């Protein structure tokens, strides 16, 4: 079998229009992969596309993970089983509204680090990662009898840089292992196409957009003519919906309008729906948008208003697009989709609780330093960090402030809550009263997600925690203990629930749940404040009373038959006495 890129795409000499959908295996539980891929094919698609997040597969330098929700090869094998072609985007940076655009946070431990560049340490880290990742793709290539058609070099690099030497390095690394065609994807206008492409290397250029195919493909045509190329048109990311941030309404796109824009793309070329199913930002992996002076962390749900919902149900948009595909590509095979079953599991009481400060020394070994360190400098990538120091004498401090911290800081004096600072208020002076001769200052700092796109995507802007220090009056405080709270399963297992509880401070709440069988469900978070939920030691994601989604999707993958343990980490002093599971999401 032979895959060729000429004026169109060809397989074994037959012209093929690629109709693909983005499915991120890392945002969908493995128990649902086949369900999703079946529905993708039923909508009329012949291909599936996925990013590959570096930070998921190499969470610590030199430590690799390709199991469970990170089992990329199993996902590819399911796609092949269903007869779908495959496009893989394993570039070091993926954007994808994913923490740090998929780049591993441990890169930030190096002071001189410059990502997406020729920096030697960065290039070596990419090379080491590819040496473990890319051999896994080799047997699935079309040239080896598999269904993998194409592989991406870099992701929207023209929106970040213009370093052709860096792009050529990536091409050389990919070609060490792979012999299928390579491509780039950039926005559909001149400047980014010029900056992010490699026509002299024979790399296919594709465009990303969500409307106005005529205008975007016009620039792609101009690029091809300028470089004397004959290539097919492909929208590698057709944005059929959009992502969502905290404290803002859910963004929706009209199904009929979306489908008509799809028609315009199909009239001229091939398409990849971004997203086909969005899924969920499990754990601490949500990204963060650059909003100028502020940041907008994305919510746990990555529903994206896609053709399939977060939990895999076909939508009105699914059927509108399916109809257009059949009209524009009569050879496309469509079918009735399958639907997921979501259950209401009922209400369960909280059995035990413990205050964070009562168990802190047992669950985290502090790092001592004379000044505050960002979390990456203490070997931590995600979660929360407690910074602790002492303030002496009974007195009033008129000016106490944190200097340069990300992203959200809660102040406690002698374990009593004082204030929360976030975004615009972060760094403002506080007046605090000290009531003891020796007073304990504790600062709980939450990493709410690193930027995934834009000019802030440089190392100096992405280190989390307290980056400069804490000041009383005009001097920096010293002698700090740093407690890393990444909430791994091992750390959660160390929580001693016999220790004292204090609902007014950040606390852990434990619930035992017995199930006859694992089921998909939603946890109702309406009565919670802000925090994170864990099921059987696995991080389900963040919740926040400020919305827009006030529930968490908990698929069957995270449950066990029989006994299950759920832990809520609540930071806002909200007493949690019970948890309730419902069969529909709760959206403002």
Catalytic sites, residue numbers:
156, 237
List C-alpha distances in Å: 494 to 354, 406, 507.
12, 27, 14
Q: Which residues pair with 15 in a beta bridge?
A: 10
Residue 222: how many other CB atoms lie within 10 Å: 13
Size of the chain in residues: 588
Report d(CA 504, CA 571) in Å as an integer. 9
Torsions phi, psi for 223 (to 5 deg) = -60, -45
From 481, 452, 461, 468, select the one nearest 385 (Cα to Cα).
481
From 585, 508, 505, 509, select the one nearest 547 (Cα to Cα).
585
Residue 310: how many other CB atoms lie within 10 Å: 23
Report d(CA 443, CA 162) in Å as an integer. 41
List C-alpha distances in Å: 425 to 281, 419, 420, 472.
27, 11, 9, 17
Task: Report the first-to-last Cα separation within the chain, whole angstroms.
Answer: 51
Say if residue 6 is exposed, middle or buried (CB neighbours under 10 Å; 0-12, 13-18, 19+): exposed
Residues 6 or more apart whose CB falls under 8 angstroms from that of 254 comprise none
Instruction: Evaluate whether 433 touches 396 at the Cβ level (below 8 Å).
Output: yes
Secondary structure (DSSP) of 463-480: --EEEEEEEETTEE---E
Instruction: Evaluate whether 409 touches 402 at the Cβ level (below 8 Å).
Output: yes
Residues 6 or more apart whose CB falls under 8 angstroms from that of 490 comprise none
Instruction: Evaluate whether 277 touches 75 at the Cβ level (below 8 Å).
Output: no
Q: What is the 3-state secondary structure (H, E, C) of 73-128?
A: HHHHHHHHHCCCEEEEECCCCCCCCEHHHHCCHHHHHCCCCCCCCCCHHHHHHHHH
């Amino acid at each position: 079998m032979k895959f060729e890129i000429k004026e169109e795409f060809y397989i074994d000499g037959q012209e093929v229009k690629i109709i693909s959908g983005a499915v991120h295996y890392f945002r969908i539980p493995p128990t649902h992969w086949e369900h999703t891929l079946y529905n993708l094919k039923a909508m009329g698609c012949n291909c599936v596309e996925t990013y590959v997040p570096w930070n998921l597969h190499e969470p610590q330098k030199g430590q690799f993970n390709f199991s469970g929700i990170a089992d990329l090869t199993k996902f590819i094998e399911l796609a092949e089983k269903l007869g779908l072609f495959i496009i893989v985007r394993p570039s070091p940076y993926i954007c994808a509204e994913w923490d740090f655009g998929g780049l591993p946070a441990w890169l930030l431990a190096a002071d001189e680090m410059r990502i997406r560049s020729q920096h030697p340490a960065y290039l070596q880290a990419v090379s080491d990662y590819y040496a473990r990742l890319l051999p896994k793709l080799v047997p699935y290539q079309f040239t080896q009898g598999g269904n993998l058609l194409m592989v991406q070099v870099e992701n929207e690099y023209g929106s970040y840089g213009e370093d052709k030497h860096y792009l050529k390095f990536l091409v050389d690394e990919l070609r060490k292992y792979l012999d299928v065609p390579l491509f780039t994807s950039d926005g559909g206008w001149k400047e980014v196409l010029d900056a992010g492409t490699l026509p002299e290397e024979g790399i296919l250029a594709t465009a990303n957009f969500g409307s106005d195919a005529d205008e975007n493909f016009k620039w792609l045509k101009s690029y091809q003519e300028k470089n004397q190329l004959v290539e097919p048109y492909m929208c590698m990311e057709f944005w059929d919906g959009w992502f969502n941030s905290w404290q803002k309404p859910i963004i929706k796109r009209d199904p009929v309008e979306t489908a008509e824009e799809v028609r315009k793309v199909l009239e001229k070329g091939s398409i990849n729906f971004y997203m086909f199913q969005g899924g969920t930002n499990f754990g601490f992996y949500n990204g963060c948008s650059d909003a100028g002076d502020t940041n907008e962390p994305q919510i746990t749900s990555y529903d994206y208003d896609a053709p399939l919902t977060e939990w895999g149900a076909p939508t009105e948009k699914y059927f509108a697009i399916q109809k257009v595909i059949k009209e524009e590509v009569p050879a496309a095979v469509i079918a009735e989709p399958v639907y997921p079953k979501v259950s209401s599991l009922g209400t369960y009481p909280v059995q035990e609780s413990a205050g964070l400060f009562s168990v802190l020394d047992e669950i985290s070994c502090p790092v001592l330093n004379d000044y505050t360190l960002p979390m990456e400098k203490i070997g931590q990538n995600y979660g929360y960090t407690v910074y602790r120091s002492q303030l002496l004498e009974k007195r009033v401090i008129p000016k106490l402030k944190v200097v340069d911290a990300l992203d959200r800081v809660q102040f406690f004096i002698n374990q009593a809550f004082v204030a929360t600072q976030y975004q615009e208020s972060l760094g403002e002076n506080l007046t605090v009263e000290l009531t003891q001769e020796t007073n304990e200052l504790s600062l709980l700092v939450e990493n709410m997600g690193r930027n995934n796109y834009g000019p802030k995507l440089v190392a100096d802007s992405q280190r989390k925690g307290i980056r400069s220090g804490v000041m009383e009056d005009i001097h920096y405080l010293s002698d700090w203990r740093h407690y890393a709270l990444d909430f791994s399963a091992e750390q959660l297992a160390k929580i001693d629930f016999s220790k004292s509880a204090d609902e007014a401070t950040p606390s852990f709440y434990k619930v035992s749940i017995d199930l006859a069988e694992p089921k998909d469900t939603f946890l109702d978070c309406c009565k919670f404040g802000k925090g994170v939920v864990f099921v059987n030691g696995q991080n389900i994601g963040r919740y926040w009373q400020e919305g827009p989604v006030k529930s968490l999707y908990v698929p069957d993958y995270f449950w066990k038959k029989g006994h299950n343990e759920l832990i809520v980490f609540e930071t806002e002093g909200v007493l949690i006495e019970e948890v309730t599971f419902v069969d529909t999401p709760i959206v403002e």
